[in-house]
Amino acid sequence: MIKDRLTPAQHAALWDDFRGGSQEAFSQLYELFAADLYRYGYNLVRNKQLVEDCLHELYLHLHTKRSQLGPTDNIRFYLYRSLRRRLTDALTKLNKFDSDDYAFDNAEFLIQPYESDLIEQQTLERRKQIVVAELNKLPKRQKEILYLVYMKGLTYQQAADVMEITMKSVYNTINVALTTLRSYIKETMLREGLFVGILLLALFSYFINF
């Protein structure tokens, strides 16, 4: 089984195999990305049936149009952008695009396992909970951009393309989000009497790597 963390060269090779007609490559695209796509879609739209329908339509489109698709070295970016467009188009047709169906609440922000070495074990779980809770206090657009860039590894330009916004908006939104996040976390840690320095070092070594 191919690991989810593919290099750009591996992304390109798998995508080219798929475009060339390999059924095994298509199966790998589903195995590697379908669950992740569903989580992203459900973070955007709290409607399981709509997300499932759009995801099914996306994979059906990929299967039937594979020979007409262009190359890519980041499959996740390609699929995220395609799914988001399908979801927003579906909501627009239902006259719901501006409703509460657009959520991006309680996103799957997680501290990666290697961060554990930087944070004292005795308070690790509580600190993780605080980080996740403070991330989820951010406005929806800020959370989505952080999710795409720092959790899923998309570039700023790719995040802009997925969300159909300008690069300037991405830069400004990330700057505001990270500034707010620093303040949130520091305030909560101090209030609970937890040591701030190592946690912030661990957090921002992951989220802030400009």
Identify whether the C-beta of residue 103 lies closer than 8 Å to the C-beta of residue 44.
Answer: yes
User: The domain containing residue 134 runs over which residues?
Assistant: 113-207
Domain annotation covers residue 98: no
**Is 60 exceeded by the pLDDT of residue 120?**
no
The per-residue pLDDT for 77 is 93
**58 in the same domain as 12:** yes
Identify whether the C-beta of residue 41 lies closer than 8 Å to the C-beta of residue 13.
Answer: no
The per-residue pLDDT for 96 is 58
Q: Percentage of residues in the chain with pLDDT exceeding 70?
A: 71
Reading the block at residue 126, the tokens are 């509580």
**81 in the same domain as 120:** no
pLDDT digits (tens, 9 = 90+) for 57-78: 999 999 999 999 999 999 999 9
**156 in the same domain as 198:** yes
User: What average pLDDT does range 159-166 have in this prediction?
Assistant: 93
**Is 60 exceeded by the pLDDT of residue 109?**
no
**70 in the same domain as 39:** yes
**61 in the same domain as 133:** no
Please give the single-letter amino acid code of residue 162: V
Residue with the larger pLDDT of the pair 42 and 61: 61
Taking residue 196's Cβ as centre, other Cβ atoms within 10 Å add up to 14
Q: Which of 93, 128, 144 is the last residue of a domain?
A: 93
Whether pTM exceeds 0.75: no
Domain annotation covers residue 3: no
**Is 90 exceeded by the pLDDT of residue 170?**
yes
Domain annotation covers residue 87: yes
**76 in the same domain as 30:** yes
**192 in the same domain as 158:** yes
The per-residue pLDDT for 78 is 93
Which residues on adjacent β-strands are paired with residue 45? 102
**196 in the same domain as 161:** yes
Q: Where are the alpha helices (DSSP H) in the chain?
A: 8-19, 23-44, 48-65, 75-93, 124-135, 140-146, 156-163, 167-191, 197-207
CATH number at residue 117: 1.10.10.10
The per-residue pLDDT for 18 is 96
Q: Which of 93, 122, 137 is the last residue of a domain?
A: 93
Domain annotation covers residue 105: no
Domain annotation covers residue 107: no
**120 in the same domain as 81:** no
Domain annotation covers residue 53: yes
| Residue 22, phi then psi, degrees to nearest 5 | -75, 120
**150 in the same domain as 64:** no
114: pLDDT confidence band, cut at 50, 70 and 90?
Answer: very low
Domain annotation covers residue 99: no
**124 in the same domain as 87:** no
Domain count, the chain: 2
User: What average pLDDT does range 162-166 have in this prediction?
Assistant: 93
Separation of alpha carbons 132 and 137, rounded Å: 9
The per-residue pLDDT for 4 is 56
The per-residue pLDDT for 70 is 94
**126 in the same domain as 80:** no
The per-residue pLDDT for 90 is 87
pLDDT digits (tens, 9 = 90+) for 5-34: 789 999 999 999 999 999 999 999 999 999
CATH number at residue 12: 1.10.1740.10
Domain annotation covers residue 120: yes
Q: Which of 32, 64, 93 is the last residue of a domain?
A: 93
127: pLDDT confidence band, cut at 50, 70 and 90?
Answer: low
